[in-house]
A and B are shown apart, each in its own frame.
Chain A
Amino acid sequence: MDTKIDNIKTLLDKEFIKNQIARQVSLEIGKNIPLKEKLSTILEILESSYGLKHTMLLFPNQDHTKMIVFASHGFADSSIGVEVPYGQGIVGMVAKKRKKIRLSGMRYYQQYAHTASHKSGSVLSKTSDEYNNTENPLPGLPNVEAQLAFPLIANDELIAVLSIESADKNYFSLDDEHFLHSLTQQMALSIQNALIINSLEDKVKERTREIEMKNTELEKLNATKDRFFSIIGHDLKSPISSLKVATDLIQHYYRRGEIEKLSEVGLKINTSVNNVNQLLDNLVNWAMCQRDMLKCEPKNIDLKEIINRVENIYRESITAKEIRIDNQLPENCFIFADMNMTMTVIRNVMSNAIKFSNTNGSISISSNFTDSDIEIIIADQGVGISAEKMEVIFDLKDKKSTLGTNREKGTGLGMILIKDFMELNNGTVILESKPDFGTTVTLCFKSETI
């Protein structure tokens, strides 16, 4: 009679513990804390209240081909993030078939597999490591003897797999299986809800990020658009006005018969036209560059010839300011670059050097050769660039152009184009400058290809 009462008491105690576990799990899932934390606590409860020492929760990946370890308890290696393909091992099979598995005597199966596949030698003392697929070891106990795995399914969707392992002779009873089965189904829906909420939060964060990126892009576009209008509004207007003044002067000097002064005016017209040409050129190039419409077509080109051509374009300005050009480039100085882009770069560098040189100043052009590159160094001894301006020299936003020593105007696009075009040609530009001492521009091009 006493034994019967003891047995009933044991059963009641066990039921009480099970109810307590179910309640604890419910409470835990209801908490407003990250899902990972909740699940780790639940796995701890399963050990402290039910003696399940080694447990693991795996979630399916997006395309439902693999299970990924999300939380684990009681393993030397947490295995978080380890993947198990559907159909592989116990967890993989549970995921594939969406049915529970209960197995014991795993070592028996190892030996069985070993023997029945005709391998020889005594196998009892070998560890399961030597049988596991060592290329992609499955997560879990290396010496597992018994395992229970349950699919957590809610609204017809596989939410997770709970795997419970044991290394000792305490195999899992049918009673354990039934209890854990009910518990996992209770967990399934709650986890699904938590995942949905997480996913919504992630979506909101992503959308916010997208909006911020679009805002930045819009700001950039606005800056571009503002610059564009500023250029059209101010920078181009001035040389055109100068041309108007020049034509008035021609008429004035012609009426007064002061023919010798006409050549002076001619010079001014030439300068203005060059200015407008360059400004328009830069504007078009820059606009096309913004829209990725420019194609870089590099070939072997004679740099010395390009420098000579640019010098000719600015001959009048050079002569007017009595600037001395010291061109030390050797003959046959070939680089591998796009012709038009190189012309634009050299034109802008030379134009700036001339613009910011004082009367009677000098501009030196020299070179440096390495195995794969050619450096062209164009240095003037003009007014230089302040440290403040150097910081934003390659920036478009809020840029104001600087007047040259003869009040020459620019759009500020020149440096930006130089940088962009050098990069497109796999080259670099380095700017060094000191106010009142001048500016040195070092352009590094790729050497000609053989």
Chain B
Amino acid sequence: MISSELLGAFQGIFPGVITTVSKENIPNLSYISQVHYIDNEHLAISWQFFNKTYKNIQDNPNFSVVVTSPTTFSMWKIDMNFIESLTEGDLFDEIEMALEAIASMYKAEDIFKLQAIMIGKIVSIEQQFDGYEN
């Protein structure tokens, strides 16, 4: 179940991280900007710079994402299986459009060029820290 608090953490106000495992069994840890909600079982991550992460996923489709809520500091770890990488479609267009809009404001078209979006199926969600005061 993805609560509105968790949805808020997807916005990337505090950048989240993604971990993947190489075929030599070495963990790779990169920062991500946003996680995009698709439905209660699927999430997407937009892709502008990471090559090692993508390479690892080809070898091992298991990856994890840790996100933080900017309002409560609650943190979640979400384990996922890679399904596919998209370079077109409604979701790709929507994310690409948002990035293009930002790029146009800061004249930084090459920096905000969307390479692809990675779709993952949620395996588990673990709340690492509950920031709400009781």
Q: Are A97 and B107 in contact (CB under 8 A)?
A: no
Q: Does B104 contact A (CB under 8 A)?
A: yes
Q: Does A50 contact B (CB under 8 A)?
A: no
Q: Does A5 contact B (CB under 8 A)?
A: no
**How many angstroms between the C-alpha atoms of A116 and B110 in the bound complex?**
10
Residues of B within 8 A of A174 (CB): 7, 37
Residues of A359-401 contacting chain B, CB below 8 A: none
Q: Are B106 and A113 in contact (CB under 8 A)?
A: yes
Using A92-B104, A101-B97 as known contacts, say yes or no to A113 and B11 having CB atoms under 8 A apart.
no
Q: Does A110 contact B (CB under 8 A)?
A: yes
Residues of B within 8 A of A99 (CB): 93-94, 97
**How many angstroms between the C-alpha atoms of A97 and B93 in the bound complex?**
9
Q: Are A105 and B11 in contact (CB under 8 A)?
A: yes
Residues of B73-109 contacting chain A, CB below 8 A: 93-94, 97-98, 100-108
Specify the chain B residue showing the minimal Cβ separation from A138: B105
**How many angstroms between the C-alpha atoms of A114 and B93 in the bound complex?**
24
Convert A82-97 into 0s and 1s, putting 1 for each residue whose CB lies closer than 8 angstroms to a CB of B.
0000011110111001
Q: Does A103 contact B (CB under 8 A)?
A: yes
**How many angstroms between the C-alpha atoms of A438 and B98 in the bound complex?**
82
Convert B103-126 into 0s and 1s, putting 1 for each residue whose CB lies closer than 8 angstroms to a CB of A.
111111001100000000000000
Q: Does B70 contact A (CB under 8 A)?
A: yes
Specify the chain B residue showing the minimal Cβ separation from A92: B104
Q: Does A171 contact B (CB under 8 A)?
A: yes
A169 in complex: contacting residue of B12, B70, B106, B112, CB < 8 Å: B70
CB of B101, distance to nearest CB on chain A (Å): 4
Q: Are B101 and A133 in contact (CB under 8 A)?
A: no
Residues of A within 8 A of B4 (CB): 173, 175
Specify the chain B residue showing the minimal Cβ separation from A104: B11
Using A90-B101, A101-B97 as known contacts, say yes or no to A116 and B11 having CB atoms under 8 A apart.
no
**How many angstroms between the C-alpha atoms of A138 and B101 in the bound complex?**
12
Specify the chain B residue showing the minimal Cβ separation from A145: B13
Residues of A within 8 A of B30 (CB): none
Convert A101-126 into 0s and 1s, putting 1 for each residue whose CB lies closer than 8 angstroms to a CB of B.
11111101110111011000000000
CB of B114, distance to nearest CB on chain A (Å): 13
Q: Does A131 contact B (CB under 8 A)?
A: yes
Specify the chain A residue showing the minimal Cβ separation from B70: A169
Using A87-B104, A93-B104, A105-B12 as known contacts, say yes or no to A112 and B33 having CB atoms under 8 A apart.
yes
Q: Does A132 contact B (CB under 8 A)?
A: yes
Q: Are A169 and B71 in contact (CB under 8 A)?
A: yes
**How many angstroms between the C-alpha atoms of A260 and B49 in the bound complex?**
118
Convert A66-85 into 0s and 1s, putting 1 for each residue whose CB lies closer than 8 angstroms to a CB of B.
00000000000000000000
Specify the chain B residue showing the minimal Cβ separation from A175: B4
Convert A315-333 into 0s and 1s, putting 1 for each residue whose CB lies closer than 8 angstroms to a CB of B.
0000000000000000000
**How many angstroms between the C-alpha atoms of A89 and B106 in the bound complex?**
9
Q: Are B106 and A173 in contact (CB under 8 A)?
A: no
Using A88-B104, A174-B37 as known contacts, say yes or no to A117 and B111 having CB atoms under 8 A apart.
yes
Residues of B within 8 A of A106 (CB): 102
Residues of A within 8 A of B13 (CB): 104-105, 108, 169, 171
CB of B70, distance to nearest CB on chain A (Å): 6
Residues of A within 8 A of B104 (CB): 87-89, 92-93
Residues of B within 8 A of A (CB): 4, 7-8, 11-13, 15, 33, 37, 70-71, 93-94, 97-98, 100-108, 111-112
Closest 3 CB pairs of A and B: A93-B101, A113-B106, A113-B108
Could you jot down 8 A-B contacts, CB within 8 Å?
A88-B104, A88-B105, A89-B101, A99-B93, A103-B101, A132-B105, A174-B7, A175-B4
Other than the given A104-B11, A171-B13, 17 more pairs (CB < 8 A) read A87-B100, A89-B101, A90-B102, A90-B105, A99-B97, A101-B98, A104-B12, A106-B102, A108-B33, A109-B106, A110-B106, A112-B33, A113-B106, A113-B108, A131-B106, A133-B105, A171-B8
Residues of A within 8 A of B (CB): 87-90, 92-94, 97, 99, 101-106, 108-110, 112-114, 116-117, 131-133, 138, 169, 171, 173-175
